[in-house]
A = this chain, B = another copy of it.
Amino acid sequence: MYVTIVNSIIDRIQKRELEPGEKIPSENEIIREYNVSNTTARKVLQEIEGGGWAVKVRGKGTFVKDFVVERAATKILSFTKNMRDQGLAPTTKLLKKELLDTDVLITVSGKRYTIRKPVCKIQRLRFANDIPMMVETRYISQLYCPDIMKFNLEDSLYDIYQQEYHLSITKIEQDLSAVFLNEESKINFKVKDDIPGIKVDGVTFCGKDMILEGEESIYRGDKYKFSVQAVP
Number of copies of this chain that the complex holds: 2
Q: List the B side residues contacting A194 at CB < 8 Å.
A: 180
A171 CA to B58 CA, complexed, in Å? 40
Shortest CB-to-CB span from A80 to chain B, Å, is 16
A6 CA to B106 CA, complexed, in Å? 11
Max chain B CB contacts within 10 Å: which of A2, A6, A178? Answer: A178
Q: Within the complex, which residue of B51, B168, B176 is in contact with A105, where a contact is CB–CB below 8 Å?
A: B51
A167-185 interface with B by 8 A CB criterion: 168-180
A171 CA to B231 CA, complexed, in Å? 5
Q: Within the complex, which residue of B172, B198, B230 is in contact with A174, where a contact is CB–CB below 8 Å?
A: B230
Give the B-binding residues of A (Cβ under 8 A).
Answer: 2-3, 6-7, 10, 14, 47, 51-53, 70, 72-77, 102-103, 105, 107-110, 112, 114, 168-180, 194, 196-198, 221, 224-232
Q: Within the complex, which residue of B74, B110, B229 is in contact with A171, where a contact is CB–CB below 8 Å?
A: B229
B174 and A227 within 8 A (CB): yes
Shortest CB-to-CB span from A100 to chain B, Å, is 12
Q: List the B side residues contacting A109 at CB < 8 Å.
A: 70, 72, 227
A177 and B229 within 8 A (CB): no
A172 and B10 within 8 A (CB): no
Q: List the B side residues contacting A105 at CB < 8 Å.
A: 3, 6, 47, 51
A230 CA to B171 CA, complexed, in Å? 6
B112 and A177 within 8 A (CB): no
A173 and B76 within 8 A (CB): no
Q: List the B side residues contacting A174 at CB < 8 Å.
A: 227-230
Q: Which single residue of chain B is at the shortest CB-CB distance from A52?
A: B107
B10 and A112 within 8 A (CB): yes
Given the interface pairs A76-B232, A232-B170, the reply to whether A226 lies near B6 with Cβ below 8 Å is no
Q: Which single residue of chain B is at the shortest CB-CB distance from A180?
A: B196
